[in-house]
Structure 1
Amino acid sequence: MLRRKIAFLLAVFAATAGVMALQKPLFMAWYAGEAAAAGAGAAEWFEVLWHGLSLDLTVAGYVTAVPLLVMLLSLWVRLPERLWRALLTGYFALVALLTAVVFAVDLALYEHWGFRIDATVFIYLADPKEAMASVDWWLGVRQTLIAALCTAGILWLYRRTLRLFDGEPLGVRSAVPATLLFAMLAAFDFLAIRGGMGASVANISKVCFSPEAFLNHAATNPLFSLLSSLGDNEDYAAAYPFYDDRTLDANFAALRGDDPAQRPDTLLLTTRRPNIVVVILESFARTVMDEQIGGEPVMPSMQRLKGEGIWFENFFANSFRTDRGEVAVLSGYPAQTRTSIMKLPAKSRTLPSIARSLAAEGYATSFAYGGDLNFTNQAQYMYATGWQELIWQRDLRFAGADPSDWGWDDALMCDWFAQRVIDLDGAGQPFLAGLLTLSSHKPFDVPYAKFENEVLNAMAFSDECVGRMIERLKASPAWENLLVILVADHGYPYPKTLPYNVPLRHRIPMIWTGGAVRAPGVVETYGSQIDLAATLLGQLGIAHGDYAFSKDLFASEPPRKFAYYTFNDGFGVVDASGEAIWDATSDRIVSETAPGLLDVGRTMLQSTYRDLAER
């Protein structure tokens, strides 16, 4: 009997570790293109399995803990064996379901996020209806089937292990030494959970082995990645302790952009008080904007507007998500790695914002979106930071049209928004009007058929809608005193093999156009979304002393102009001299081609989190 009890526990542990290990070749096969781009041959596939085994064993240790406790109880407590089996079957069903669902969701998300699933997903599941709106029907069906098949397979395996279960209690003479033996097994199980006997406990760094981020991601156990990130970064000030306070203050003093004495060296506008339109373009990546299919540009409108207005050649997003990109654009506040300040109302409401600054100068401020502004807490953030009027899906009706799952498409919204700008101009009060587009967001459901690739087709549709909107504004009296700023909320993983942490992944377009622009031109200075606030306010002669992280790209101070961005757990910095990329998960410098940029990134990241803690 004792031999069967031990064999059962070992079988549970081995079965769990096997299931976790099997996910790795399945993941790499699913992302075969990325694996090939990372140079994954037979040796790399083996290394992914080998290095990933440490976290697989940790998860197996956690899963085995409950059966181990049951076996200990069964040594002393007599219960019907069918009851023990029923309890264990229910437990294994929960483990199988959780493992399968996490695997299926992670498999779908990685394509868009570029990292394995973690607690970030719960930010976007706070509103399940809106989260599901970005999932097309086939994707939902496909991942559900994958989860169901995996659940069935894992549960079948666990039920096989249950054949070894023996719930008969032992006599006292046998139970005492058996208890000591199981205590020893529990100690080994604890070591598996801890990640060994070394000083470092189980963490994702343990599986990192390659300079190719994809291979490290492939080795990561998704269930561990999700569960281990719960509650991350609650002590924000201690999240990235690169420098002591005095050194950090000195480093940041050379980078901050809130010097009241700053003045732009170049004036781009014909007036200090234009009416202003900010159009945040969903997922408009430079890689997509510059793409051509059969010699035809995917985004001809953006290419045309690039030559007609002021084009920012070296401009970058601060993050990979809309909520973080919006805060960077509208508040000049850097994106965080594993949290989103937009989801922290007590903190986000203290942020500066373009809307608040312009409202203080007599501007009427309004923001429009064809979807639901409650998603990711956008409405709360916008109202709290000075947007006086929000107009979104629930407020709009279009004759003969129905919204998609994500909201009203860009054709309807851009046409409506053009008329709104014209009407605001007629009202006589200076205004700031914002628009967030949405048709270039997954599921890419658009009434358009130009390219076979659904991503490029949706991007082309949005580009055409924005182009028509600009042409309509040009033909109206509103154009003469209008500044239109077109800027993406974040980049997009196009092509699919584009690594998530390199500068090109975060490169985005920004164009200033309108009748208030003095002349077209090209700006070569490096900058990112956080620099828009100070740059715009500088052109308007409005103080931007409360935007510590935002630099006026046309001011001589601070002298070093750079673009800074974050990804899941790390940062990148790029300027005219080179780049620096640092990954916090593996505590590794991914790239450093210019001196000093690594310190710039570390200073920005630590300063952001210290500021977040103090808000």
Structure 2
Amino acid sequence: MDFLKTAPMRFLLLVTSAWLVIFFLTRTVLLLTHLEEAGSGFLSVFAIGFLYDLGFIAYAVLPMGLYLLLCPPGLWRRRGHRWFLQALLTVSLFAMLFTSVAEWLFWDEFGVRFNFIAVDYLVYSDEVLNNLLESYPIGTLLSVLAVLAVALSLVLRKAFNAALDAPLPPLRRRLLNALVLLIVAGLSLQLLSQDAPRAQGGNAYQNELASNGPYQFFAAFRNNELDYPQFYKTLPPDVVAKQIRAELSEPNAQFVGQDPQDIRRNIDNPGTPRKPNIVLVTIESFSAKYMGSNGDERNLTPNLDVLRKQSLYFNNFYATGTRTDRGLEAITLAIPPTPGRSIVKRVGRESGFASLGQQLGAVGYDSVFVYGGRGYFDNMNAFFSGNGYRVVDQSSVDESEIHFKNAWGMADEDLYNQTLKLADADYAKQQPFLLQLMTTSNHRPYTYPDNRIDIKSGNGRDGAVKYTDYAIGQFLEQARQKPWFDNTIFVFVADHTAGSAGKEDLPISNYQIPLFIYAPKLIDARETAQLASQIDLAPTLLGLLNLDYQSTFFGRNLLQDNPLPPRVVVGNYQHLGLFDGKDLAILSPRQGLRRHDDALTESRESKAQANDPLLTRAITYYQTASYGFKQQLLGWKAPMEGTPQVSDR
């Protein structure tokens, strides 16, 4: 161990020891905030966490280590270089303290360590930076961290001087030490992964705490798109082909694809086709639990509680994912959440799908995506414009028509005003419209116009939820005065819930969202407990129109009697699930298979095999979706001009 007594290695050991202490304290604080949920077994959390801490350090300090070991002795002994190393120590302490605070804020928002969400936020730095500036006292926070880093650096001054006063090894020894650092970094990359040595399954809070935030960030950056056959359990193609057809064989469906795993089918919706307008509102981060009619006593949703009684309301409806792009993907393309990034964000491969907008555009609708923010965020502009929509976003709107905006976009009421203008314009042209909206107000920093509700702007989620409800109420009140109202279907659905973290990898109750279909002149008000998810919305809307079409949707028409077994598909960017109303199957990287029996109550976890019928169904959905995307089987094929409705023949 003589090499640890040399100046470069002692300095490196000083830096890494300080980092390890910060990592330990971060893990401890995060644990204390969720002590009850994390349960027992803290020793393994800290032991495995220590391995991840070392794994991150092994390659994070590699550039610094190589510099220290290859630095010429003449430069090393200069006073200016000594000051440089002092500054380097201080900056490294500031960086780790900053990371620790960032982890705390991220954990507070999402209930997990850094993951792919943090990677995405780094890409869209303008919105995220403005959001942080509007949500937290960033200047004060950075100043405190800087002072703390300098103070810690001074506390370590004695150890710093001792390290730099240690002898310098000869060049041969330094080169050998550099080789050792490279080997250790390489081993770290090979032996550690996002899922090992931390466990798959079990208590999700413990698994998150046992990791290292910076390590998770870089791992998510490397794995933002996961190849399904490489990382997940697969079944033989003939088994999958048979099962997926059993899952999608509605009475009015006829498969037409040549590939056995091609789900393309002709849908014959009986009845005379009709062309009501559709206003499809996707609400940011709206959990079903916020509604007063679901038991919340804070009176946050008076308008939606009334609307529930006037609508076709689905009270057993689930989001497919945990991010806005996942919700938009499911609603627009009716596809399960394949691992890694959503299709919305697969730049260069996000276009040309048989979307809801394409289907309606083919029969004369004006399909418009209307977004309260800037559409380049999450690649929304490219996705929607490449799939049959024209796009109206914040950048399309004159500033004089925006009365309030924050980091994420204009207030919901301004978005709805733009929607009314678009609807009026299409009505004047006698063109039916699909206006597919995405709101932004129910998002941190939770700010909105003053004097709208009885909760002050910027005071947290409750106010944003109540303002969201207020804006919907005002929008519908104005829409009822329009000549196009009676022939319009209004749909209100969330993109995802406000928080999906829990003790399990996929806590199914945290994916429940509301779905309202409101058209008092067209659809009778009632409530249904049918199990359904966002991928079922598009085929249900096309069914309401009695429209025949060629489908690549994985969803089903919820208003049609069929013998298909119930299911919803849910996931995050790694774990993929299928819930049948009682039990939950989970697919994980490295061919992990689990099931949670009585998932909404006791949620008893056990390992499972691929021949378990529930697991077979789950594998089938995700394997087929990934195969269809890769083989370009989900693309839009415009109907031949003059092709009659099947129902009219």
What's the TM-score bracket when you normalise by the shorter of the two chains?
0.7 to 0.9
Moved more, 361-370 or 482-491: 361-370
Moved more, 54-63 or 242-251: 242-251
Tell me if the contact between 2:310 and 2:520 (Cα under 8 Å) persists in the aligned partners.
no
Matched, 1:135 2:138: no
Tell me if the contact between 1:256 and 1:551 (Cα under 8 Å) persists in the aligned partners.
yes
Shift of 1:167: 7.2
| CA 1:112–1:295: 2 relative to 1, 3 Å | closer
| CA 1:451–1:580: 2 relative to 1, 3 Å | farther
Tell me if the contact between 1:570 and 1:585 (Cα under 8 Å) persists in the aligned partners.
no
Alpha-carbon distance between aligned partners in 2 of 1:226 and 1:566, rounded to the nearest angstrom:
19
Equivalent residue, structure 1, for 2:628: 611
Letter in 2 for 1:450: D
Alpha-carbon distance between aligned partners in 2 of 1:193 and 1:156, rounded to the nearest angstrom:
33
Tell me if the contact between 2:304 and 2:469 (Cα under 8 Å) persists in the aligned partners.
yes
Equivalent residue, structure 1, for 2:100: 103
Per-residue deviation, residues 201-258 of structure 1 (Å, max 9, x unmatched) = 4544213387221121112111111122323255635443311551443443333475
Shift of 1:26: 3.0
Alpha-carbon distance between aligned partners in 2 of 1:35 and 1:465, rounded to the nearest angstrom:
38
Shift of 1:536: 1.4
* Equivalent runs, 1:102-251 vs 2, <5 Å: 102-139=99-136, 141=138, 144=142, 148=146, 151-152=149-150, 161-163=159-161, 164-166=163-165, 178=173, 183=177, 187=180, 190-191=183-184, 194-195=187-188, 200-208=191-199, 211-232=202-223, 236-246=227-237, 247-251=239-243
Note the aligned Cα RMSD (angstroms). 3.7
| CA 1:159–1:56: 2 relative to 1, 3 Å | farther
Shift of 1:588: 6.4
Moved more, 417-426 or 375-384: 417-426
Letter in 2 for 1:285: S
TM-score, structure 2 normalization: 0.81
| CA 1:593–1:193: 2 relative to 1, 3 Å | farther
Shift of 1:481: 1.0
Alpha-carbon distance between aligned partners in 1 of 2:584 and 2:169, rounded to the nearest angstrom:
66
Alpha-carbon distance between aligned partners in 2 of 1:432 and 1:333, rounded to the nearest angstrom:
20
Equivalent residue, structure 1, for 2:529: 524
Alpha-carbon distance between aligned partners in 2 of 1:441 and 1:20, rounded to the nearest angstrom:
34
Per-residue deviation, residues 48-67 of structure 1 (Å, max 9, x unmatched) = 22220111111232245455
Letter in 2 for 1:404: N
Letter in 1 for 2:215: F
Shift of 1:11: 6.3
Letter in 2 for 1:509: P
| CA 1:228–1:415: 2 relative to 1, 3 Å | closer
Shift of 1:559: 0.9
Tell me if the contact between 2:539 and 2:553 (Cα under 8 Å) persists in the aligned partners.
no
| CA 1:53–1:436: 2 relative to 1, 3 Å | same
Alpha-carbon distance between aligned partners in 2 of 1:260 and 1:290, rounded to the nearest angstrom:
41
Alpha-carbon distance between aligned partners in 2 of 1:120 and 1:612, rounded to the nearest angstrom:
23
Tell me if the contact between 1:580 and 1:591 (Cα under 8 Å) persists in the aligned partners.
yes
Alpha-carbon distance between aligned partners in 2 of 1:67 and 1:466, rounded to the nearest angstrom:
55
Equivalent residue, structure 2, for 1:20: 20
Matched, 1:434 2:436: yes
Equivalent residue, structure 1, for 2:304: 302
Tell me if the contact between 2:233 and 2:592 (Cα under 8 Å) persists in the aligned partners.
no
**Candidates 613, 616, 628, aligned match of 1:596:** 613
Alpha-carbon distance between aligned partners in 2 of 1:324 and 1:303, rounded to the nearest angstrom:
26
Tell me if the contact between 1:236 and 1:610 (Cα under 8 Å) persists in the aligned partners.
no
Alpha-carbon distance between aligned partners in 1 of 2:118 and 2:367, rounded to the nearest angstrom:
32
Alpha-carbon distance between aligned partners in 2 of 1:193 and 1:506, rounded to the nearest angstrom:
39
**Candidates 547, 550, 572, aligned match of 1:545:** 550
Tell me if the contact between 1:347 and 1:612 (Cα under 8 Å) persists in the aligned partners.
no
Letter in 1 for 2:384: M
Equivalent residue, structure 2, for 1:396: 398
SS in 1 for 2:114: coil
| CA 1:294–1:109: 2 relative to 1, 3 Å | closer
Moved more, 454-463 or 393-402: 393-402
SS in 2 for 1:477: coil
Alpha-carbon distance between aligned partners in 1 of 2:211 and 2:129, rounded to the nearest angstrom:
26
Number of equivalences: 599
SS in 2 for 1:589: strand
* Equivalent runs, 1:385-464 vs 2, <5 Å: 385-398=387-400, 401-418=403-420, 420-446=422-448, 447=450, 448-451=452-455, 454-464=460-470
Tell me if the contact between 2:18 and 2:93 (Cα under 8 Å) persists in the aligned partners.
no
Q: Give aligned-pair identity as a percent.
A: 20
SS in 2 for 1:347: coil
Equivalent residue, structure 2, for 1:334: 336
Tell me if the contact between 1:65 and 1:189 (Cα under 8 Å) persists in the aligned partners.
yes
Per-residue deviation, residues 139-196 of structure 1 (Å, max 9, x unmatched) = 251654575466546755776554213575567xxx76x569x55x964884576259
**Structure 1 gap segments, 5+ residues each:** none
Equivalent residue, structure 1, for 2:491: 485
SS in 2 for 1:229: helix
Letter in 2 for 1:314: N
* Equivalent runs, 1:66-105 vs 2, <5 Å: 66=63, 68-70=65-67, 72-73=69-70, 78-82=74-78, 85=82, 88-89=85-86, 92=89, 95-105=92-102
| CA 1:505–1:136: 2 relative to 1, 3 Å | farther
| CA 1:65–1:385: 2 relative to 1, 3 Å | closer
TM-score, structure 1 normalization: 0.85
Equivalent residue, structure 1, for 2:260: none
Alpha-carbon distance between aligned partners in 2 of 1:361 and 1:572, rounded to the nearest angstrom:
35
Shift of 1:357: 0.8
Shift of 1:398: 4.1
| CA 1:439–1:52: 2 relative to 1, 3 Å | same
Shift of 1:127: 3.2
Per-residue deviation, residues 371-418 of structure 1 (Å, max 9, x unmatched) = 212211211111111113524344134469343333221223324434
SS in 1 for 2:524: coil
SS in 1 for 2:570: strand
**Candidates 286, 289, 292, aligned match of 1:287:** 289
Equivalent residue, structure 1, for 2:603: none
Moved more, 212-221 or 419-428: 419-428
Alpha-carbon distance between aligned partners in 2 of 1:418 and 1:590, rounded to the nearest angstrom:
46
Matched, 1:508 2:513: yes
Alpha-carbon distance between aligned partners in 2 of 1:235 and 1:568, rounded to the nearest angstrom:
9
| CA 1:558–1:394: 2 relative to 1, 3 Å | same
Letter in 2 for 1:600: R
**Structure 2 gap segments, 5+ residues each:** 250-262, 600-611, 633-649
Tell me if the contact between 1:264 and 1:555 (Cα under 8 Å) persists in the aligned partners.
no
Shift of 1:553: 2.4
Equivalent residue, structure 1, for 2:372: 370
Equivalent residue, structure 1, for 2:569: 564
Tell me if the contact between 1:278 and 1:433 (Cα under 8 Å) persists in the aligned partners.
yes
Tell me if the contact between 1:324 and 1:336 (Cα under 8 Å) persists in the aligned partners.
no
Letter in 2 for 1:108: L
Shift of 1:590: 6.6
Shift of 1:522: 2.0
Matched, 1:9 2:9: yes
**Candidates 550, 571, 581, aligned match of 1:576:** 581
| CA 1:388–1:90: 2 relative to 1, 3 Å | same
Alpha-carbon distance between aligned partners in 2 of 1:367 and 1:259, rounded to the nearest angstrom:
25
Letter in 2 for 1:434: Q
